[in-house]
Chains A and B, each alone.
Chain A
Amino acid sequence: MSITVYISGDSTAISIGANRTAAAVVKEAAQRGVEINLVRNGSRGLYWLEPLIEVVVNNERVAYGAVKPSDVASLFDADFLNGGQHPLALGSVEEIPYFKKQQRLTFARVGITDPISLDDYIAHDGYRGLKNALASSQAEVVKQVTDSGLRGRGGAAFPTGIKWNTVLNTPSEQKYIICNADEGDSGTFSDRMIMEGDPFVLIEGMTIAGLAVGANQGYIYLRVEYPHAHKALNAAIAKAYEAGYLGDNIQGSGKKFDLEVRLGAGAYVCGEETSLMESLEGKRGLVRFKPPLPAISGLFGKPTVVNNVISLASVPIILDKGGDYYRDFGMGRSRGTLPLQLAGNLKHTGLVEIAFGMTLRELLYDFGGGSTTGRPIKAVQVGGPLGAFVPESQFDTPLDYEAFAANWTVLGHGGVVAFDDTMNMAEMARYAMEFCAIESCGKCTPCRIGSTRGMEVMDDIINNVDREKNVVLLRSLCDTLLNGSLCALGGMTPYPVLSALNHFPEDFGIDG
Chain B
Amino acid sequence: MVSAKTKVINPQGMHMRPAQVFVGEMGKFKCDVTLLCNGKTINAKSIMNLMAACIKQGCEIEIQCSGEQENEALARAVELVDSGLGDL
A binds B: no
